């Protein structure tokens, strides 16, 4: 027997307590099942649980329960009530909540996650309670005070793939948000969720997005090269040294770089620039050398007008940062080095030298081709665990950042860098981080770099990607360490 809709109710609520106009909807249906009438309706379902709950309980059972109870009483339950949600049930660390409006559900989730971020600010990483939240808009079955159906199951599976402190929503929920919220969503693509028949299109809510657009400006190096630089965020300055394949505009939009740049800009005014031969800086380059790159960094910080600042280097940007810090110890307050080396790959072994020489030849031949097959070879080493969308972005980024000739020249110079003799001359607080199974730059290169800098602290992060991606465990650890380091 077909379903029969017997009531549709549309509610338009006037602004209350500063909230914009909200629209709620209820569709009631009666379904004959085994001689009984079952009530159905369309609802926004929020599922939440605590990431790593078993580990937390195993470490401190009473303390974890007390923390969870405190968070619920002070933050979670009041926010649910404020946004007109109904707690359907709780299961240990889990919770299922029904909302009449997707906007209310997502806004509630965002405010809870932001509140938890503040409450966790002074809690050590291993003791933090972090919620994972999934939200879906779907058909549900009502049985007394409980709810069932695929609408509920999908929300629960979305919660399972959300990162700690994150929010994942379905395409159905995303489409009903329209333009009503001030934050953005990142498309994660189709995902096969456990025990869900069809793939579900998933979005991640970027509720910490920096609202401003990076402001791009230009300056001239001592040899006349035009350099593009940008600032974004608010707070004390943090300078990122340029590295290979940077593009000020595309990096900010990219699923490869955006989470890192946004995270750095959250509490700082982030200053970054495109190296000569890259991105928005001049591509027609006469000189590519460590001396030229250090000079470019000097030019940019002088153009911005900052005297003393933390300096952050990634990959070969670490060598540039080391040389700058050794030359200008009074201007660098902290030095953060990630995924870097003091000795270039071309000098580490004869085999590596020949490999890089062959790759340089291939760059000149295949870098600018429409077919991304050649560039995919590099992508598979930089982000071996990236999604198809991330790989496509990285393939495209390579062609947009530099010319084939400049890419090959840059690659050759980087492979022959050697700043080992400068390491003992670095006399600023230094933090070095490196992923354990980096395919581009082995972790041993990072360890040796850290060992040569007096008092440097070395941290190994989990992962295989040269640049950790948004949903990797390394991301949370990286920001925890860098925030603690820069606060000292």
If asked whether residues 232 and 181 sit together in one domain, one would say no
Per-residue pLDDT, 191: 86
Per-residue pLDDT, 189: 83
Measured CA to CA in angstroms, residue 64 lies from 31, 130, 162, 384 at distances of: 43, 11, 21, 36
Select, from the ranges 15-24, 29-38, 102-111, 310-319, the one with the highest average predicted confidence (pLDDT). 310-319
> Across residues 338-367, what is the average pLDDT?
84
Select, from the ranges 208-222, 279-293, 356-370, 466-480, the one with the highest average predicted confidence (pLDDT). 279-293
The residue segments making up the domain with residue 300 are 215-487
Q: Of 412 and 369, which is predicted with more confidence?
A: 412
Using the predicted structure, report yes or no on whether residue 276 has a pLDDT greater than 50. yes
If asked whether residues 234 and 289 sit together in one domain, one would say yes
If asked whether residues 36 and 76 sit together in one domain, one would say yes
pLDDT tens digits for range 213-258: 788 999 999 999 999 999 998 789 999 999 988 999 989 888 889 8
The whole-angstrom separation of Cα 382 and Cα 467 is 7
Using the predicted structure, report yes or no on whether residue 142 has a pLDDT greater than 60. yes
If asked whether residues 112 and 255 sit together in one domain, one would say no
Using the predicted structure, report yes or no on whether residue 396 has a pLDDT greater than 90. no
Distance of CA 146 to the CA centre of its chain: 36
Using the predicted structure, report yes or no on whether residue 4 has a pLDDT greater than 50. no
> Across residues 355-381, what is the average pLDDT?
76
If asked whether residues 313 and 391 sit together in one domain, one would say yes
Using the predicted structure, report yes or no on whether residue 471 has a pLDDT greater than 80. no
> Across residues 3-27, what is the average pLDDT?
42
Contacts of 257 (CB under 8 A, 6+ apart): 251, 467
If asked whether residues 107 and 228 sit together in one domain, one would say no
Per-residue pLDDT, 21: 41
| Site of tokens 């965020």 | 233
> Across residues 132-158, what is the average pLDDT?
88
Domain end position, chosen among 139, 174, 206: 206
Q: Could you tell me the sign of the dihedral formed by the alpha carbons of 325, 331, 332, 333, in that order?
A: positive
If asked whether residues 383 and 448 sit together in one domain, one would say yes
The whole-angstrom separation of Cα 342 and Cα 352 is 15
Measured CA to CA in angstroms, residue 155 lies from 93, 125, 235 at distances of: 16, 27, 37
Domain end position, chosen among 206, 237, 265: 206
| Site of tokens 């970027």 | 206
If asked whether residues 344 and 452 sit together in one domain, one would say yes
Using the predicted structure, report yes or no on whether residue 9 has a pLDDT greater than 70. no
Per-residue pLDDT, 78: 95
Look at residues 86, 69, 222 and name the one whose alpha carbon lies nearest to residue 145: 86
Per-residue pLDDT, 464: 94
If asked whether residues 240 and 162 sit together in one domain, one would say no
- Count CB atoms within 10 A of the CB of residue 214: 18
Using the predicted structure, report yes or no on whether residue 210 has a pLDDT greater than 70. no
For residue 379, what pLDDT band results from cuts at 50, 70 and 90?
confident
The whole-angstrom separation of Cα 406 and Cα 360 is 10
CATH number at residue 464: 3.40.50.1820
Share of the chain above pLDDT 70, in %: 89
Number of domains within the chain: 2
Per-residue pLDDT, 30: 54
Per-residue pLDDT, 476: 84
Measured CA to CA in angstroms, residue 154 lies from 47, 190, 198, 471 at distances of: 9, 13, 10, 20
Select, from the ranges 13-22, 157-166, 173-182, 393-402, the one with the highest average predicted confidence (pLDDT). 157-166
If asked whether residues 168 and 253 sit together in one domain, one would say no
If asked whether residues 195 and 229 sit together in one domain, one would say no
Per-residue pLDDT, 148: 86
Q: Of 68 and 398, which is predicted with more confidence?
A: 68
> Across residues 286-294, what is the average pLDDT?
94
Measured CA to CA in angstroms, residue 202 lies from 47, 162, 164, 167, 238 at distances of: 15, 10, 16, 10, 33
Q: Give the tokens for residue 471.
A: 């949903």
pLDDT tens digits for range 185-208: 888 888 888 888 889 999 988 876
Select, from the ranges 262-276, 312-326, 376-390, the one with the highest average predicted confidence (pLDDT). 312-326
The whole-angstrom separation of Cα 191 and Cα 274 is 35
Kindly report the backbone phi and psi dihedral angles of residue 28, in degrees, each rounded to the nearest multiple of 5, phi listed first.
-100, 135
Contact 163, 195 (CB under 8 A): no
Using the predicted structure, report yes or no on whether residue 7 has a pLDDT greater than 90. no
Contact 429, 488 (CB under 8 A): yes
Per-residue pLDDT, 106: 93
pLDDT tens digits for range 421-432: 999 999 999 999
Length of the chain: 488
If asked whether residues 199 and 252 sit together in one domain, one would say no
Measured CA to CA in angstroms, residue 360 lies from 267, 288, 374 at distances of: 39, 15, 12
CATH number at residue 65: 3.30.70.1230
Q: Of 25 and 279, which is predicted with more confidence?
A: 279
Q: Of 327 and 127, which is predicted with more confidence?
A: 327
Domain end position, chosen among 206, 230, 254: 206
For residue 305, what pLDDT band results from cuts at 50, 70 and 90?
very high
The whole-angstrom separation of Cα 77 and Cα 80 is 5
């Amino acid at each position: 027997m077909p379903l029969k809709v017997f009531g549709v109710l549309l509610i338009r609520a006037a602004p209350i307590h500063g909230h914009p106009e909200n629209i709620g909807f209820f569709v009631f249906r009666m379904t004959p099942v085994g001689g009984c009438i079952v009530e159905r309706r369309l609802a926004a379902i929020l599922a939440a649980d605590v990431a790593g709950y078993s580990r937390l309980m195993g470490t401190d059972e009473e303390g974890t329960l007390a923390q969870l109870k405190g968070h619920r009483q002070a933050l979670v339950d009041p926010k649910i009530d404020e946004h007109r949600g109904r707690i359907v049930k709780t299961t240990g660390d889990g919770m299922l909540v029904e909302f009449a409006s997707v906007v209310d559900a997502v806004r509630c989730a965002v405010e809870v996650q932001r509140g938890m971020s503040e409450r966790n600010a002074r809690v050590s990483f291993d003791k933090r309670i972090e919620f994972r939240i999934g939200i879906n808009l779907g058909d549900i079955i009502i049985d007394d005070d409980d709810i069932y159906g695929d609408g509920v199951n999908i929300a629960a599976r979305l919660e399972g793939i959300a990162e700690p402190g994150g929010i994942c929503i379905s395409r159905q929920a995303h489409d009903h948000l329209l333009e009503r919220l001030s934050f953005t969503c990142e498309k994660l693509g189709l995902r096969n969720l456990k025990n869900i028949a069809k793939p579900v299109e998933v979005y991640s809510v970027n509720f910490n997005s920096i609202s401003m657009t990076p402001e791009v400006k230009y300056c001239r190096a001592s040899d006349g090269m035009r350099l593009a630089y940008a600032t974004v965020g608010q707070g004390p300055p943090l300078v990122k040294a340029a590295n290979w394949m940077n593009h000020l505009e595309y990096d900010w939009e990219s699923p490869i770089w955006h989470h890192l740049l946004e995270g750095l800009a959250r509490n700082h005014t982030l200053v970054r620039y495109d190296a000569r031969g890259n991105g928005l800086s001049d591509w027609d380059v006469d000189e590519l050398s460590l001396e030229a790159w250090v000079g470019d960094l000097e030019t940019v910080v002088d153009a911005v007008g900052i005297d003393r600042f933390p300096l952050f280097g990634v990959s070969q940007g670490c060598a540039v940062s080391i040389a700058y810090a050794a030359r200008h110890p009074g201007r660098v307050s902290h030095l953060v080095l990630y995924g870097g080396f003091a000795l270039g790959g071309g000098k580490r072994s004869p085999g590596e030298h020949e490999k890089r020489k062959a790759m340089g030849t291939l760059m000149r031949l295949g870098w600018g081709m429409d077919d991304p097959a050649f560039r995919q070879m590099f992508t598979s080493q930089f982000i071996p665990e990236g999604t198809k969308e991330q790989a496509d972005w990285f393939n495209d980024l390579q062609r947009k950042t530099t010319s084939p000739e400049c890419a090959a020249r840059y690659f050759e110079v980087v492979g022959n860098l050697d700043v080992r003799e400068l390491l003992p001359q670095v006399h600023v607080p230094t933090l070095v981080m490196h992923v354990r199974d980096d395919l581009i730059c082995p972790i041993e290169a990072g360890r040796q770099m850290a060992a040569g800098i007096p008092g440097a602290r070395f941290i190994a992060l989990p992962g295989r990607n040269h640049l950790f991606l948004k949903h990797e465990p390394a991301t949370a650890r990286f920001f925890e360490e860098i925030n603690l380091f820069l606060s000292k």
